[in-house]
Structure 1
Amino acid sequence: MRWSIFISIITFVLASVFSVVSTAMLQGVVWAAGALIVLFIVCIGILFDMMGIASASANERPFHAMAAEKVPGAKQSIFIVRNADRFSNFCNDVVGDICGIISGTASALVVVKMIGSAPEGEGWLTAAATVVFSAVVSALTVGGKAVGKSFAIHYSIPIVLWIGRLFYLLENRLGVRVLGGGRKKINGKRGNKRAARSDTSA
């Protein structure tokens, strides 16, 4: 429940920010520039969808070997794989779905600009262009995610390591800690319990 409430709040905030930013960017540009912005939003959704699938498909063992060799980002990659349910939920469901909704809204704004900039007597051409643009955006979204998922499954280890290195740079260069949590000292607790049992037996 805590994670569900937390991710719902994060989704509300991110959706509001993305919507305001995309609307502000589209208001002062021509429809061609708006189309490029829509395609950029679609690419962001595909990228995060690929990251979420890679985290759920990756195996933890290779990263332990990398961590033993002190490869930058290996420890962060282990944390990502261990929390793949939450990481993939954020990437696929939060960012991915938000990009899908925002790209649809932005496409509608681009279509309005296309209709407004069309000369009189060429309404059929504008209607055809709007239909083609909407179809292209939908095809790129679905097709791009299909290709991204296949790529993420086959190359999950390099993708997760790339994400881990990005978090490593954020933590060590900029001091921004994205991933939280640490290992509990279970060994110490077990040692104390064993020591207490040995004293009672004596």
Structure 2
Amino acid sequence: MRTILRNSIRWSVSIAVITFVLAALFSIVSTSILDGLSWGIGMFVVLVIVWIGIFFDMVGIAATAADEIPFHSMASNKVHGAKHSIQIIRNADRFASFCNDVIGDISGIISGAAAAIVIAELTLSFKMGVSSVLEYSISIIMTSVIAAMTVGGKAFGKSIAIRYSRDIIFQVGKLLYFLEKHTKIKLFKDKKRKKKKRK
């Protein structure tokens, strides 16, 4: 019980630190990109951020919905990405937490902040100026559109993730295999090797 609690606390602290770093990084990047851009291009950037959140939310759901059994025969036949797919499914709680809570929530927060910058840029683009009522209306409309796209996109992504979970995780597994092969970075540690070393 203590080991489980200790591991949970360690994971919570590490994910909080990662979230802090990524949120700061995404915020700096999005603000620097939006600085000086027209409101039209700025809106496109906001939509890209929204779709990043939707994509990672879909991948996180797929990890919790996928079954590892179909990947065992693929792994025995040395199909690239099969072992990584199994690792994703076995670590579905942490993988989904990272995709849904970290990337997904950060995207939602950053898209909101970026939308505020775009709204300000839009109101300033009117040479004659705009009334407070019009500015308020533009703000409500753009915020509502972004919220609708985020919620609607995630709802659509969830249905796709549940239905095609195996295919989605296999593609992610192949991507992790490619990254590990060329960068030598392992996302998941081999638990079996750890146990052998302890023995």
Q: Normalising to structure 2: TM-score of the pair? A: 0.89
Q: Gaps (5+ residues) in structure 2? A: 1-8
Structure 1 runs, 4 residues or longer, greater than 3 Å off: 121-130, 184-190
Q: Deviations over 1:49-69 (max 9, x none)?
A: 001000000001011111012
2:6 alignment counterpart: none
Corresponding position: 1:96 with 2:104: yes
Corresponding position: 1:50 with 2:73: no
Q: How far off its partner does 1:182 sit?
A: 3.8
Q: Deviations over 1:73-122 (max 9, x none)?
A: 00000000000000000000000000000000000110111111113264
2:119 alignment counterpart: 111
Q: How far off its partner does 1:176 sit?
A: 2.7
- d(CA) in 2 for partners of 1:67 and 1:121? 63
2:189 alignment counterpart: 180
Corresponding position: 1:138 with 2:141: no
Q: How far off its partner does 1:129 sit?
A: 3.4
> What amino acid does structure 2 have at the position aligned with 1:176?
I
Q: How far off its partner does 1:178 sit?
A: 2.5
1:29 alignment counterpart: 37
Q: Which has the larger radius of gyration?
A: 1
Q: Gaps (5+ residues) in structure 1? A: 191-202
- d(CA) in 2 for partners of 1:97 and 1:130? 21
1:39 alignment counterpart: 47
Corresponding position: 1:151 with 2:196: no
The alpha-carbon distance between structure 1 residues 172 and 58, as it changes in their structure 2 partners (threshold 3 A), is same
Number of residue pairs aligned between Structure 1 and Structure 2? 190
Q: How far off its partner does 1:169 sit?
A: 0.3
Out of 18, 22, 28, which is 1:14 matched to? 22
The alpha-carbon distance between structure 1 residues 98 and 186, as it changes in their structure 2 partners (threshold 3 A), is closer
Q: Normalising to structure 1: TM-score of the pair? A: 0.87
* Stretch deviating more after TM superposition (20-29 or 115-124): 115-124
- d(CA) in 1 for partners of 2:17 and 2:138? 38
1:166 alignment counterpart: 175
Q: How far off its partner does 1:188 sit?
A: 11
Q: Deviations over 1:129-178 (max 9, x none)?
A: 33322211111000000000010000000000000000000111232323
- d(CA) in 1 for partners of 2:175 and 2:30? 25
Output the aligned Cα RMSD.
Answer: 2.1
1:85 alignment counterpart: 93
Query: Quick one: percent identity of the two aligned structures?
Result: 49
